[in-house]
Structure 1
């Protein structure tokens, strides 16, 4: 779940799977198109694979702006059952579930391995 205010307050957008475009996907998050995201709570169910949430400023899980200079090429990642406040200066445009915030599709090794698939 992503929120328009800190500490899980304000407007809410929630998903149970990947979303390649928050503004035009299956479950649009209209308020994120006009304002920043300020907090996240990753409360996906226990026992499912890919429980961490990686989020991106660009649609289609692409980095945008400063994120292009980061090794992970993403805006951030929140572990399963974690919550926190974000800088509140940007709105992610897409997110995907990953095996781990430290490894997998969002890591350098994961990106290399995905090219080899």
Structure 2
């Protein structure tokens, strides 16, 4: 099998575009390339592609509005969430509940602490919160 590699162009390409072009994961805020499922301990991460790839948005706290909170998820209103990883570490919290609408409205699902996986990929998520209640 022969793989062609294009010579670098004189024009710089944003890291996000480079990562997205090869199907890898990247941080949506910084554009930094990431390994699939790369999510810091104590956080919950959501990606806009399956397998923990594509744009990643990451939080260590609840967020009632992904487009205006302390972490702004740039693709929240234009792309569906396709994978999630809950790397929370609190002994009192069981999972992260995620919602279709801002303000924790219209629950879509919940991912237990320590779990990761692909979602249906047919809906946008606009808010999430940690829970000590039922998750599943």
The answer on 1:61 being equivalent to 2:104 is yes
Q: Which runs of 5+ in 2 are unaligned?
A: 1-44
- Tell me the TM-score normalised to structure 2 length: 0.63
**Does the CA-based 8 Å contact 2:48-2:56 persist in structure 1?**
yes
Greater share of strand: 2
DSSP-derived class of the 1:25 partner: coil
- Tell me the TM-score normalised to structure 1 length: 0.73
Larger radius of gyration, structure 1 or 2? 2
The answer on 1:83 being equivalent to 2:127 is no
The answer on 1:33 being equivalent to 2:73 is no
Q: CA deviation at 1:101?
A: 3.3
Q: Which runs of 5+ in 1 are unaligned?
A: 64-73, 104-117
DSSP-derived class of the 2:51 partner: helix
Stretches (4+) displaced over 6 A: none
What is the RMSD of the two structures over their aligned residues, measured on CA atoms? Answer: 1.5
DSSP-derived class of the 1:11 partner: strand
Whole-Å Cα distance in 1 between the matches of residues 88 and 111 of structure 2?
11
Task: Name whichever of 92-101 and 77-86 sits farther off.
Answer: 92-101
Relative CO higher for 1 or 2, CA cutoff 8 Å, sep ≥ 6?
A: 1
